[in-house]
Amino acid sequence: MQLFLVALVCGCAQVPTAREPDDYQGCGSDEAWPLFDQWEMGGSVRADDTRAPMFTLPTANATLSGGPPVFAWQPTPTTPAAPFGDARCGQCPACGLATAHLPAIVGTAYDLQFSVDGAVAWRVITTQEVWSPSSALWSSWRGHRVSLVAVRALLDDNLLADGPYRATAPLSFSVD
């Protein structure tokens, strides 16, 4: 891990370029971002539809019009959704008081990557199981096909306890 970080900082290794998240929700923080990058760039994310997040809204291949929708999912096809997720971190009002340094996550975290025209256009690190784009972001996707890759990981004090998992195919939809 230390060699990976040194190589990334000095630019002396050929590693994929990570895209900084645009949004953090729930207990999601820049503490979790490097964890997801490490797993995703290191190839340890497993494609497994039985353990990956399952989107309940919107449906696959839908054409969405109007204002920004609510994206909703459950941790796996057999695990019921909880809109605020199951994570505890001490930084959000539901979890407790915020501290000067973001506390470690205990629970399920998600990395949502929305791609437009083949490039990641928006990235969210969250512990919640609902998310909605801003009106401006949604408008920028009009007339495009969007794909969403969601990675789920169970964390215990920011250490991987289970996962990470993603679906075998991204959720794709069109924006009118």
What structural domains does the chain harbor? Answer: 17-175 (2.60.40.10)
Quick: pLDDT tens for 13-36. Answer: 333 457 899 999 999 988 888 999
How far from 13 is each of 8, 38, 124, CA to CA, in Å? 7, 14, 26
Q: Mean pLDDT per segment of 10 residues, for the chain of length 176 residues?
A: 39 51 92 91 96 97 96 97 87 50 86 95 96 98 97 95 97 97
pLDDT for residue 13: 32
Question: What is the structure's pLDDT at 92?
Answer: 54
Tell me the pTM: 0.85
Q: Please tell me the distance from the alpha carbon of residue 95 to that of residue 80, in angstroms, as a whole number.
A: 20
HEC-encoded secondary structure of the chain: CHHHHHHHHHCCCCCCCCCCCCEEECCCCCCCHHHHHHHHHHCCCEECCCCCCEEEECCCCCEECCCCCCEEEECECCECCCCCCCCECCCCCCCCCCCCCCCCCEEEEEEEEEEECCEEEEEEEECCCEECCCHHHHHHCCCCEEEEEEEEEEEECCEEEEEEEECCCCEEEEEC
At residue 19, the pLDDT reads 85
